[in-house]
Amino acid sequence: MASNQEPPQPNAYRARADVPPEPAPAGRPMATPLIELHGVAKDYVTEAVTVHALRQVDLIIRRGEFVAMVGQSGSGKSTMMNIIGCLDRPTRGRYVLDDLDVTFRSNDQRAVVRNRLIGFVFQGFNLLPRTTALENVELPLVYRGVGAAERRKRALEALGSVGLAERLHHTPNQLSGGQQQRVAIARALVTEPPLLLADEPTGNLDTRTSLEVLGLLQNLNEHKGITIVLVTHEPDIAACAKRVITMRDGRVKTDLINAVQHDAHRALAELPAVDEETAAEAAP
């Protein structure tokens, strides 16, 4: 994302000691772990070489956290995302998701876990091109065997929650990039998963649209309590999360609390106003 915002300075973060969360406010229970990685390693073996993509990673992410995972290409962040998303298995170690040990479950079993517990948002949107926004959002419920009436009701609610109640019957080519990503977020939310994984969700978007999407993610985390893990290589995107994990050489290099979380809505309001005529021409 091209941005005029300055990258967060090192003193904007403070060290996270031994992973335990900050004390819960008075009267509120401490959040329980949703994601637990214990000594997780991932090796890719070829005839010529063995690549150690992850090396003995220990990590806990608690319910209701908004975590950004950052690192250069080859740092291990994508491998970490694939394991957390039950798209791949660790070579060694244990992975527990929502109190369920999913380490060595079969492909079919992991598919069920993904459908029940995880929503995915990708950089490329991954929408069916000849299918309306409403039908795209209904799709995960089709796989779950939910009846047509209930599918329609829940898809309408999900699209309304991302501000697309007026775009139900538009196909992806009739939507802007930001609107397509909102459809993708609605599709990820329609099964009401406790975990949302966002892999470079603003990578194809301009600054204004990126801030709109990040603001939506912040709202979902803050007001609906959805746990969000966002993979990005951009410091200004990571600054919108409450916690920032930096990967290097297959290990967690730093795990820091963001002491000054970047408010995407405020940053959006501070951008120069869009010329109405230009905005009208850009609208689908």
DSSP assignment string, 24-54: PPTTSPPPPEEEEEEEEEEEEE-SS-EEEEE
Average pLDDT of 236-252? 95
**Whole-number Å distance between alpha carbons of 182 and 267:** 19
Sign of CA dihedral 67, 69, 208, 188: negative
Order of strands, edge to edge, in the sheet holding 100-101? 50-62, 33-45, 92-97, 100-101
pLDDT of residue 260: 87
- Lowest-confidence segment of 17-26, 98-107, 127-136 by average pLDDT: 17-26
pLDDT score recorded for residue 84: 97
Let me know if domain 30-232+243-251 sits in CATH 1.20.1290.10: no
Whole-angstrom Cα distance, residue 35 to residue 99? 8
Per-residue pLDDT tens over the stretch 163-180: 999 999 999 999 999 999
Specify the pLDDT at position 273. 79
The 10 Å Cβ neighbour count of residue 211 is 29
Question: Does the pLDDT of residue 93 top 90, yes or no?
Answer: yes
Residue 19: predicted pLDDT: 41
**Mean pLDDT to the nearest integer, 234-253:** 94
Q: How far apart are CA 218 and CA 230, in angstroms?
A: 11
The pLDDT of residue 29 is 56
Averaged over 120-141, what is the pLDDT?
A: 92
Query: Given the DSSP bridges, would you call strands 50-62 and 33-45 parallel, antiparallel or unpaired?
Result: antiparallel
Contact 213/51 with Cβ under 8 angstroms? no
